[in-house]
């Protein structure tokens, strides 16, 4: 069943069966419209294809920009929508059934480990498309950008001689983020040899496709999925996973949480603190695996 068709069916149910107020219906539909736009970026258009992980990732992205109360409101809208669908179609599983509000349970973000990142970046060849794709991923991972920030990056924001990128984030807040040498070289290769061939008219954007059009979020998500599939890696990772990997690897390397907060452009330190949960889980796993007394308990 198509997602847009399902939302329309739900709208009819709210109006004609539950007799909800116009204001309430508009609120539900706004949340679902945002949700549908997110899923469209992942090339998910049927309700049968939506997984619990997709819902969790959507809520995690919301947490970067909204307070817990707003995220919980979104979850309430999604839960009501999917519960309705599963009641109407018993074979259709509800992907929200085990998800709790953000205050009760912090969802740990999906991230790639360092070997997976290296394998992914090493997989690109020398074709124009490969150079283009590698440059995108180097910037996403090397700077920890949101997908929208990467797509909207302009040439005047690059300060590659200084190894810096000026990022314009949510609410037009600016931050300066370093880019490592490999990332700079990948970006220069794209800018010098690929981009000039593709630019039809003068464009201010760093990333343009072969028609000269600005990069889109949907293109990035689809490119990552195709690349992961070609390598036999999990396609559960998304473009946002590179931002999570950036933060996790910095903290694993000893970076201060406040520094990571600034690099990610989080206005609230509590948003950044989710990565300390990732660290805690990894430390526990390492402890259980290698501490002699812990290993005795497991035997």
Active site residues: 146, 170, 240, 243, 266, 275
**CB neighbourhood size of 281 (10 A):** 11
- What DSSP designation does 13 have? I
Q: Which residues contact 283 (CB under 8 A, 6 or more apart)?
A: none
Q: Which residues contact 9 (CB under 8 A, 6 or more apart)?
A: 88
In the chain, which ranges are continuous DSSP H helix?
3-12, 22-41, 52-63, 68-88, 114-122, 128-143, 147-151, 181-189, 195-198, 217-230, 239-252, 257-264, 269-272, 274-290, 292-298
Minimal CA–CA distance to 281: which of 160, 148, 108, 139?
A: 108
- What DSSP designation does 178 have? E
Q: Round to whole Å and give the CA distance between 2 and 122.
A: 37
Q: Round to whole Å and give the CA distance between 24 and 38.
A: 22
Q: Round to whole Å and give the CA distance between 239 and 109.
A: 12
């Amino acid at each position: 069943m198509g997602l847009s068709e399902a939302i329309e069916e739900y709208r009819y149910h709210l109006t004609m069966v539950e007799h909800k107020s116009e204001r309430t219906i508009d609120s539900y539909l706004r949340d679902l419209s945002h949700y549908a736009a997110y899923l469209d970026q992942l090339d998910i258009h049927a309700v049968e294809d939506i997984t619990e992980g997709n819902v969790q990732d959507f809520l995690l992205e919301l947490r970067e920009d909204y307070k817990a109360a707003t995220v919980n409101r979104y979850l309430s809208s999604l839960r009501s929508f999917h519960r309705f669908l599963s009641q109407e179609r018993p074979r259709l599983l509800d992907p929200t059934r085990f998800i709790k509000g953000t205050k009760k349970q912090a969802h740990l973000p999906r991230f790639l480990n360092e070997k997976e990142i290296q394998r992914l970046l090493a997989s690109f060849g020398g074709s124009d498309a490969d150079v283009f794709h590698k440059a995108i991923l180097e910037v996403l991972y090397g700077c920890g950008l949101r997908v929208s920030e990467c797509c909207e990056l302009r040439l005047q924001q690059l300060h590659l001689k200084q190894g810096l990128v000026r990022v314009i984030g949510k609410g037009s807040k600016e931050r300066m983020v370093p880019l490592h040498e490999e990332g700079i070289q990948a970006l220069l290769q794209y800018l010098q040899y690929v981009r000039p061939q593709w630019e039809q008219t003068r464009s201010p954007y760093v990333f343009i496709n072969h028609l000269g059009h600005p990069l889109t979020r949907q293109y990035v998500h689809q490119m990552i999925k195709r690349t992961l599939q070609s390598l036999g890696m999990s396609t559960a990772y998304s473009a946002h996973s590179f931002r999570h990997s950036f933060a996790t690897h910095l903290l694993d390397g000893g970076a201060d949480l406040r520094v990571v907060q600034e690099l990610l452009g989080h206005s609230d330190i509590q948003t950044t603190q989710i990565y300390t949960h990732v660290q805690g889980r990894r430390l526990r796993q390492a402890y259980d695996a290698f501490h002699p007394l812990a290993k005795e308990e497991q035997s």
